[in-house]
A and B are shown apart, each in its own frame.
Chain A
C-alpha cells in the first residue's frame, strides 16, 4: 500500500454530507478504507505489525469491521507509534494529562493533519451552519502559544477556532473569568448568534459557576451555540450530568443550543457530536463498536460495553481502530429522530480501575 495512493484516496472522500450514508453504503465505504489503513499500518509500523500478532485470525485486509485489531489507547502513552518516515512528522499532539501522569503522544504528518481539519469542519458545519460566527472561547489564550507541541485542549481550541471570527478568550491564564471584557463582547455582538467553545469542566467551573458566584448577568442570546467536550469525569464527581448541564446553561446564560462531543486526541477530527435528542452520532468517516468488557467480543446494540472507535483519519500513526477505556451503549443506527444516518450512542463513563493484588504494593502498570 503506497502512501501517495492512500493519501489521494483519502483526499477524495466526499465531505459534503457527513451523515449521509446508510448501513450498507457505509459498511462498503468504511471497510474498504479500514482494510487499506490496516494494510498500510501493518506494512509501515513494526509496532503495529507486532501488535496484530495478538489476534489469532488476523488478516491484513480484514473481512469485516469487527475483525480489525483494536489497539488499546494506553499504547500511545507507552510507545511512540508512527507509520511514516520520521522526517515527515511535523506536529506532535499530547493528551492533557495532569502532572505526573504520562501523556499520549500522537505524531502527525501534514496530510493527516490537513484531513483532520477538513473532516472536523464537515462535521461541525452540519451543526452550526456555514457562517463564521463571533466566537467566545472558554479558555486562556496562553494555552495555544507553541503550535508545534500542542496538548489535546489546545488542539481542540485551534481546531474549532476555524469556525468563528473575532475570537475572544474569556479566561485569564489562571482560568479566571474576564468578566468585564466578556460582557463587552456580548454587548457588541448582541444582535446575532455567538459560537462558544470550551471544555466541559471548564465551561461549568470557570464560566457558569464564576458568573453565579459573582452574581453577574450574562446573556449569550438564544441563537448562540455552545460546543463542548473533554469528558464528564470531574463533573460526575459533582453529580452534574448532561441534562443538568444543559438546563443550567439555558437558565443562567441563555444558551439554548448545547452540543457535547465525544472525541480524543488519538483520533482528532472525527468527533462524535451530540444531536438535539441527546445522541452522539457517528459521521460517515468514523464508527463505534461496543465490546463486551469481559470477552472483548462485539456486543449487541443496547448493551453497555467498552467503546471501540474507528476513524479514516489516522495515517501517520496506527490509530484507525482503538479500544478506549470508556463505557457506552449504542442505541440504534440510521434511525435517530434528528435525521442523521449512522450509529448513535451515549457514553456512560470510564471503566473502573483494576485493584492490584500481590505482595508488592507498588507493582502498578505504568499508564
Chain B
C-alpha cells in the first residue's frame, strides 16, 4: 500500500497501527485544555516562522488559531448542566489538492471537539505543507507528544484502499474537494454510527449597494476596491468562496456610479498578473459565457494585467458558475433591489460578500430565499476567511457529541 506517512507518533508504522493508536487515544472533552495549548503553540510558532509573510494563507491560519480567537470560540458554546460535550472518536479528513491550509482548520476543530484525526493530504508537494509538517514535528520532539499523537497526516493516491480502511474505522468523515472527489469517496461505506460532512464545489459572488458608494469619498472607495480585489486575487479566484460575479444594487438612475467603482477598482488591481495558459483559459471561459448568451459584452481586453469585466445578462441559464475560469474574470449585473436576486440563487451558492447593506436588509433578503443557496454573508474583503460555521454547518457542534443529562 503506497501510503506515505508525513507526520505521526513514532509507534505508528502502518495503517493498522495508526488505527489502533488513534482508537487508544480515546475521546477528549470539548475544548480540552491540552488541545487548546497545542494549537496555541502551533499558532505562535507559525507566526514567528522565518519568511512566513511570503505565505498569506499561513499567516491567516496562524492568526485564526491565536489565543484570543480560541478563547472567543470556546465562549461561543455555552456551558449547561443539561448536557456535556465529548468527541466522537477517529475523524477522517480528506483534504483538497490545492488549498494547503484547509486540512489544518478541519482537524484542529476536530481536535477541539475531542476527536483523534487521520488526514489524507494531496500528493502535490508545497512549501506551505512542508512548513506545517515541520512545526508539528518540532512540537512533537519537544515532548508534547500526547496531543501531537492524536493525529496522523498521510498522503496516497485517491484510489488507495487506505480510505476504505479508515472509512470502516472512523466515526466522522469530512470530504473537502470537488464534486467528483466527494462522489467517489461517498461511495465508500462508513460504520453505521459514523457521520459524514461533505464540502463539494460551491460558487460565490458579491453585491454592492450603489447608494452606499455614492456618498463615499475616493479614498474610502479605493479601500473598498482594494478589499474586493484581494478577494478576487487570492487562490486565483478559484476557491469556493471567491466572488465570480458582482451585482450592483440600486435604481437605474444610479447606474453611472458603477463606472466610478470600476475606475478605482482598476487602480487597485493594477498589479494583476496571470500566466499565458491562464490568459487562454480565461478567454475560453469568456467565449463560453458569450456563446451561451450569459453575457452581453466585455468591458475589458483579455490582457494578462487586466481583471476582465463582462456585462452579464439575466438568461434562463444564468449560470456564470459553470463556465467561469477565475484568474480575474468578473460578471457584473445591475439589479434594482437585493430581493430581485432571490430568483437567481442556485443551490450551490455559498458566499455572498456585500457592501452597503445593513443587518435588517440582509436578514429580510435571506428570509426571502426559497432554496438551500447562500450559506454565508460577509463584508467584501472577508470572502476567503475561514469560519467555524462552514457551508451552513457548525463544525464544532457536529464534530462533537452532546450527551443529554437534563433529566438527571
Contacting residue for A51 out of B285, B291, B326, CB 8 A: B291
Known contacts A352-B277, A358-B98: A79-B238 contact under CB 8 Å: no
CA distance A359 to B302 in the complex (A): 25
A196 to chain B, nearest CB (A): 35
Q: Is the CB of A361 within 8 A of B181?
A: yes
Q: Residue on A with the closest CB to B324?
A: A365
Q: Is the CB of A75 within 8 A of B99?
A: no
Provide the residues of chain A in CB contact with B296, threshold 8 Å: 53
Provide the residues of chain B in CB contact with A74, threshold 8 Å: 284
Q: Residue on B with the closest CB to A74?
A: B284
Q: Is the CB of B96 within 8 A of A359?
A: yes
Total interface residues on B, CB under 8 Å, equals: 55
Q: Is the CB of A358 within 8 A of B291?
A: no
Q: Residue on A with the closest CB to B237?
A: A358
Q: Is the CB of A357 within 8 A of B277?
A: no
A82 to chain B, nearest CB (A): 12
B408 to chain A, nearest CB (A): 43
Q: Is the CB of A75 within 8 A of B178?
A: no
Q: Is the CB of B284 within 8 A of A72?
A: yes
Helix, strand, loop or mixed for chain A's interface? loop
Provide the residues of chain A in CB contact with B352, threshold 8 Å: none
Segment at the B interface, from A122-130, A274-282, A291-299: A291-299
Contacting residue for B201 out of A75, A81, A363, A365, CB 8 A: A363
Q: Is the CB of B325 within 8 A of A54?
A: no
Q: Is the CB of A356 within 8 A of B277?
A: no
Q: Is the CB of A362 within 8 A of B288?
A: no
Q: Is the CB of B280 within 8 A of A358?
A: no
Which residues of B from 195 to 233 have beta carbons under 8 Å from A?
199-202
Is the C-beta of A219 less than 8 angstroms from some C-beta in chain B? Answer: no
A57 to chain B, nearest CB (A): 10
Q: Is the CB of B298 within 8 A of A56?
A: yes
Is the C-beta of B179 less than 8 angstroms from some C-beta in chain A? Answer: yes
Q: Residue on B with the closest CB to A361?
A: B97
A322 to chain B, nearest CB (A): 11
Q: Is the CB of B288 within 8 A of A54?
A: no
Is the C-beta of B276 less than 8 angstroms from some C-beta in chain A? Answer: yes
Q: Is the CB of A295 within 8 A of B291?
A: no
Contacting residue for B240 out of A55, A352, A359, CB 8 A: A359
Given A296-B302, A354-B327, A357-B238, list of 18 further CB < 8 A pairs? A47-B291, A53-B295, A54-B287, A54-B302, A55-B298, A56-B299, A79-B288, A352-B277, A354-B275, A354-B280, A355-B277, A358-B235, A358-B239, A360-B96, A361-B98, A362-B181, A363-B238, A365-B323
30 contacting pairs across A/B (C-beta < 8 A): A47-B291, A50-B292, A50-B293, A51-B290, A53-B295, A54-B297, A54-B298, A56-B301, A72-B287, A81-B291, A294-B276, A294-B279, A294-B304, A294-B305, A295-B303, A295-B304, A296-B303, A297-B303, A354-B275, A357-B98, A357-B236, A357-B239, A358-B236, A358-B238, A358-B242, A359-B96, A360-B240, A361-B97, A361-B178, A362-B178
